Structures are given as C-alpha cells and as structure tokens.
C-alpha cells in the first residue's frame, strides 16, 4: 500500500523544484478537521523561497495537483492546499491488500530477522503470581507478538526469581512450622503463609535472620538438603504459574531465571575486580556510580553472597553470548528503573559496547483500593482468582443474552480473560493504576468484549451474506470484483482510513514499546464500524452493493482479529 504522505511529498517535489523532497514531505499536514481534506500543504515557507504571495502559490499548486489521479478534489484555501483522497481508490487498495495478505495484514520485515530478547513475567518462586505480575506478563507477551509481526526473531525469556536470601527464610520457616501435605495441596498460599510468619517471628527473635542467612549460604554452596527443598518449592510453584500461563495462552522459550546464573557469577566478580570497576567496602564489594548520579550498587555482601544485580550482570552477558541479541528488552516495573540504569552503567564500565542495546521497558504500579500490595503482609490479589472470577461473570452475562448459545465455556473463557488483558493494555503502560473489580468486569464502553463483539458482528454478517455455517468456509474469492462506489459515504470512508493505517500503527507500537497504541486503534476501528453498520444497510437487495460492503466487513473482521491477536486476545466468531 502507498504511504500517502510520502507519495504526496514526491509529487509536490516535482512541482516545487526549489526545495528538497524530504523537507517538503515533512511539511505535509493531516488537518484536524476532515472538512479541510485528508492532507494539507501550507505555502508560507514557499512564499519566502519563491518571493510570491502564499495564496497565489497555493492556487497554483492546487491546479497542478488536480490532474493527479489519487485525488477526488484539491482546493486552495488562503495559503493552504487542501487535498481530498479518492475514496473509492483507497477502499480498493485496502481491500486488495487485506485479500492478498489475510492474517498477515499489518506485518512487515523491518526487523530483518534480527534476534531480539523480550524478558517478561519473571514472578518469584514461592510467592504469589499476583495482579502486579499481570502487567509484565501481558505487556511482554504483546510486545513479543508485535516485534515478531514486524520481522524480528524474538526469544521469550521468563527470568524466574528463583534465587536469593528469601529462600534461606523460606527453608528455615518450612523446617520450623511447615507441613508437606499443606504445601502439596496449595503450594504458593502455604509457602506464603510461612514467609509471612517468618517476618512476624523474626521481629521478636532477630536470630532467625542470621539462621536464614546461614541457610542461604548453604544453598549457594549446593548442600543437598537445602537444594532439595529449594527444588521442590520451585517445581510446585511452577505448576501454579503454568496454570495461569495456560489460561492466558502464554509460552516462553526459556525459563532460565536467577538460579541459572548461580555458577556463572564468579567470572564477572573477577572481571569487575581486574578492570577496577568494583571496590571493596567494609568486607563487601561495591560499584560506586555516585559520579553519574546512580548511587552505589552492592555486588557481594560481606559474607560473600551475591545479589540480584550480580545475577543480572551474568545474565546480560550470557544472553549476548548465546543469542547475539540486537536488543535485550526487560519488561519490568518502574520501581526498578535505578536497578536497570545501574546494570547498564556497570556493563558500560566493563567495556561491553553493546550495553546500550539493553532496553528497560518500565510500567506503572498497580495498587488495590485498600492500599499498595504487600507480599510480606499477605495483602495480595491472586491473578488466577481474578481470571477465574472474570470468566464466571462473563458466563452469566452471555447466558442471559443468549440462553441457547453453543460453546459457552470456550467463549466465556476467551471473553472473560480477554477483558482483563485488554483493560491491562488500554492505558499508557507507564501510568499507575488501581485495580478495581468493577472496572475490570464492566463490559460496556471501550473494553475488550466490545471489540470482540464487533468482530463477531462482522463474522456474522459474512456468514449471513454468503450463507455459510462458519467463517472458516469463507473464501475471499466469493467477494468477486468490488464496486467501491458503494464505499464512499463518510462513515465507510472513516472506517477505510483507520483500517488502512493499521500497518503504521503496528510500527508505532513497536517503536514506542507501547501496546496501548494498538488497543486504542482497534477501539476506534470498532466504533467506526458500528457507526457504518448503524447508518447503512449492509446486506442490500443490490448484489454489487452488498458485496462491496461485505468486503469492508471482511477487512474489518481481519484487522480486528489481527489487532486482538497482537495483544494476546482471542477473537471468537460468535458471542
Ligand atoms: N523477579 C523480579 C520481581 O518480581 C523481576 C525480575 C526482572 N528481571 C530481571 N532480569 N531483573 O521483581
């Protein structure tokens, strides 16, 4: 498809030889008021170059542009040239492209198969997969799909939090108060209760903290009993996490988390020392980055144990050596901004010139209506409960609307989970937000179910229009020749323009690492389609007209299902 702005820029470049094409293209505007055309060109700047009144230049250019086939109308209004694209041509180009590419519409090859790592989710073992983790999981999954759609080879990593001093605490707590059956029945909730108890008891008896530290050191040295318990906590936790990933339809290429690097850190500790990046400080080792405003990072404690950032240094280099990434993207909360800034700076000081290919994609905090979440105090909402509750609620709504519908369970799962994911991706990711059951389960307005419903409406029109049982029986050749003169109304044209822009929108979302760009765009498409649907009869007596309008419904169906797919949401054919 044409990039209209560029195309117009090149035509203008031929007309106005006194300026260079790129400069001219940059001057082409999209007027905020559609009455002033699809594109406009202001002539003030040219007036200085050509030493001629801007309104005279505008009428001159307008006259020359009128001969170009891509416009329906070109007018000069004062110093502006207003251009109206030929509506039929645009619709034709769009429908042809969607017919040719199908579910690949919107894809491109700008990534040229360069390897990109997207790290997301990364929950902590033996701690709940709570509503706070949904953000990383869902944003990361969408970014993976978006980057893959524009041609990158994406490697999906779940950097599990399966290591660290908290495992010393967990093991101590389990030995003191634990019970095997309880853990097996309900691993995370049980382990969490031990962890909470540990913190309560250690306030009264601080020696517990020392015991936990000693236990973690044993784990670091690979002692059998500690390792066995740790492995068991990890296995049981993963079973629970995988239940959630299955519900969300999310998979990973690697689950190499923090523990994977436990035997890979020595090399870097040595390297940090040799390159004088690190310095001893009261028995510990630190990297001082005060000079660049990044504070001090602790690399090893005075008992020799390593830290979160030590493992991240090893992980970054391991990933470079294993995947030779073009970009290494971390989808992690904005609370860790300093951590990632320090990580990059340390890699820089070690002389790894790819340090700048590390991209931290931060997102805002989730809080509960009753306050911030706190694992220690046991104030958490479990993601699995949220998803299950949403599916149940959806089931009730669908049953009410359509008591005899088929596949109720499957559709309720797709819509209920889609609703949560969609709302998660609706706002700019950096914004903080408060989790609220009411908002999540409100299925009116600008929500996932609304977009899914519009998609199902398009599918239903196609089934009806071509007498099909299911949309899978649809073959786009049934559309035949399209008479685009029936797609020139304002509502049809507004829809065509939005659909046409989808590939640009996917690129924009990738460039900004911002899935909400797509979320907003498909809401706009759904609204534009529904306006078209309410203003015009689609399956009319006139067969050519019906086919043209069905072709537009077909394009809408394809683009909506593509958009939902890029967000990690299913697009059911019936609702
Ligand atoms: N497990 C960590 C947490 O829940 C997130 C890990 C982020 N990734 C990393 N490479 N540091 O806070």
Question: Could you give the percent of the chain with pLDDT greater than 90?
Answer: 78
Question: Which of 126, 161, 374 gets mutated to test ligand 1 (max ligand atoms within 8 A of its CB)?
Answer: 161
Residue nearest to atom 1 of ligand 1 (CA): 161
- Whether 297 has a pLDDT exceeding 90, the answer reads yes
Residue nearest to atom 8 of ligand 1 (CA): 159
Give residue-wise pLDDT tens across range 481-507.
999 999 999 999 999 999 999 999 999
Separation of alpha carbons 11 and 402, rounded Å: 54
- Whether 441 has a pLDDT exceeding 80, the answer reads no
- Average pLDDT, integer, range 369-375: 66
Residue nearest to atom 5 of ligand 1 (CA): 122
Separation of alpha carbons 277 and 280, rounded Å: 10
Q: Which residues carry out catalysis?
A: 127, 130, 133
Q: Measured in angstroms, how far is the CA atom of residue 331 from the centroid of ligand 1?
A: 9
pLDDT category, 404, cuts 50, 70, 90?
confident
Q: Measured in angstroms, how far is the CA atom of residue 567 from the centroid of ligand 1?
A: 22
**Does 390 contact ligand 1 (Cβ within 6 A)?**
no
Separation of alpha carbons 212 and 363, rounded Å: 32
- For residue 365, the SS3 value is coil
- Whether 202 has a pLDDT exceeding 70, the answer reads yes
**Does 122 contact ligand 1 (Cβ within 6 A)?**
yes
Separation of alpha carbons 317 and 319, rounded Å: 5
Separation of alpha carbons 433 and 490, rounded Å: 37
**Does 124 contact ligand 1 (Cβ within 6 A)?**
yes
pLDDT category, 420, cuts 50, 70, 90?
very high
- Give the number of other CB atoms < 10 A from CB of residue 419: 25
Give residue-wise pLDDT tens across range 300-327.
999 888 899 999 999 999 999 999 999 9
Give residue-wise pLDDT tens across range 456-467.
999 999 999 999
Separation of alpha carbons 248 and 571, rounded Å: 14
pLDDT category, 520, cuts 50, 70, 90?
very high
Q: Measured in angstroms, how far is the CA atom of residue 383 from the centroid of ligand 1?
A: 17
Q: Measured in angstroms, how far is the CA atom of residue 261 from the centroid of ligand 1?
A: 14
- Average pLDDT, integer, range 138-147: 98
Ligand 1 atom at minimum distance from 332 CA: 7
- Average pLDDT, integer, range 58-79: 93
Give residue-wise pLDDT tens across range 523-562.
999 999 999 999 999 999 999 999 999 999 999 999 999 9
**Does 343 contact ligand 1 (Cβ within 6 A)?**
no
Give residue-wise pLDDT tens across range 117-132.
999 999 998 888 877 7
- Whether 444 has a pLDDT exceeding 80, the answer reads no
- Give the number of other CB atoms < 10 A from CB of residue 446: 15
Separation of alpha carbons 64 and 71, rounded Å: 12
**Does 257 contact ligand 1 (Cβ within 6 A)?**
no
pLDDT of residue 450: 94
Ligand 1 atom at minimum distance from 124 CA: 1
Q: Measured in angstroms, how far is the CA atom of residue 138 from the centroid of ligand 1?
A: 15
- Whether 104 has a pLDDT exceeding 80, the answer reads yes
**Does 8 contact ligand 1 (Cβ within 6 A)?**
no
């Amino acid at each position: 498809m044409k990039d209209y702005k560029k195309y117009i820029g090149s035509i203008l470049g031929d007309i106005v030889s006194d300026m260079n094409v790129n400069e001219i293209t940059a001057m082409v505007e999209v007027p905020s008021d559609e009455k002033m055309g699809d594109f406009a060109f202001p002539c003030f700047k040219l007036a200085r170059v050509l030493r001629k009144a801007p309104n005279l230049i505008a009428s001159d250019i307008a006259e020359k542009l009128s001969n170009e086939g891509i416009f329906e109308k070109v007018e000069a209004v004062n110093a502006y040239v207003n251009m109206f694209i030929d509506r039929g041509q645009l619709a034709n180009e769009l429908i042809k492209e969607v017919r040719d590419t199908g579910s690949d519409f919107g894809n491109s090859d700008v990534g040229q198969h360069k390897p990109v790592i997207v790290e997301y989710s990364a929950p902590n073992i033996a701690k709940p997969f709570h509503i706070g983790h949904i953000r990383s999981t869902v944003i990361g999954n969408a970014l993976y799909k978006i980057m893959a759609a524009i041609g990158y080879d994406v490697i999906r990593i779940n950097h599990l939090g399966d290591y660290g001093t908290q495992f010393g605490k967990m093991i101590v707590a389990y030995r003191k108060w634990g019970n095997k059956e309880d853990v097996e029945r309900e691993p995370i909730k049980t382990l969490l209760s031990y962890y909470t108890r540990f913190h309560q008891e250690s306030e009264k008896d601080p020696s517990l903290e020392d015991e936990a530290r000693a236990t973690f050191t044993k784990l670091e040295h690979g002692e059998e009993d500690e390792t066995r318990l740790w492995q068991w906590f990890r296995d049981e936790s993963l079973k629970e996490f995988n239940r959630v990933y299955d519900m969300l339809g999310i998979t990973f290429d690697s689950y190499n988390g923090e523990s994977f690097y436990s035997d890979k850190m020595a090399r870097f500790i040595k390297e940090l020392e040799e390159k004088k990046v690190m310095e001893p400080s009261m028995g510990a080792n630190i990297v001082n980055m005060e000079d660049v405003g990044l504070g001090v990072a602790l690399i090893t404690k005075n008992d020799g144990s390593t830290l979160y950032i030590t493992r991240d240094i090893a992980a970054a280099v391991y990933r470079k050596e294993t995947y030779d990434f073009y970009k290494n993207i971390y989808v992690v909360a904005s609370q860790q901004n300093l951590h990632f800034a320090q990580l990059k700076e340390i890699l820089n000081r070690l002389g790894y010139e790819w340090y700048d290919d590390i991209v931290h994609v931060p997102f805002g905090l989730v809080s509960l209506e009753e306050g911030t979440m706190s694992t220690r105090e046991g104030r958490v909402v479990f993601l699995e409960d949220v998803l299950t509750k949403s599916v149940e609620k959806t089931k009730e709504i669908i049953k009410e609307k359509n008591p005899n519908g088929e596949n109720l369970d499957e559709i309720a799962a797709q819509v209920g989970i889609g609703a949560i994911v969609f709302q998660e991706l609706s706002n700019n990711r950096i914004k903080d937000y408060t989790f609220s059951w009411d908002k999540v389960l409100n299925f009116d307005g600008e929500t996932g179910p609304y977009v899914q419903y519009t998609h199902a409406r398009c599918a239903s029109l196609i089934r009806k229009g071509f007498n099909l049982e299911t949309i899978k029986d649809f073959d786009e050749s049934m559309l035949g020749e399209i008479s685009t003169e029936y797609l020139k109304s304002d509502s049809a044209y507004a829809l065509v323009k939005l659909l046409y822009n989808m590939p640009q929108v996917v690129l924009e979302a990738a460039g900004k690492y911002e899935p909400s760009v797509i979320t907003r765009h498909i809401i706009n498409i759904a609204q534009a389609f529904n306006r078209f649907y309410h203003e015009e009869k689609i399956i009319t007596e006139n067969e050519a007209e019906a086919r043209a309008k069905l072709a537009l419904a077909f394009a809408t169906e394809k683009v909506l299902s593509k958009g939902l797919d890029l967000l990690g949401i299913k697009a059911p054919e019936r609702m």
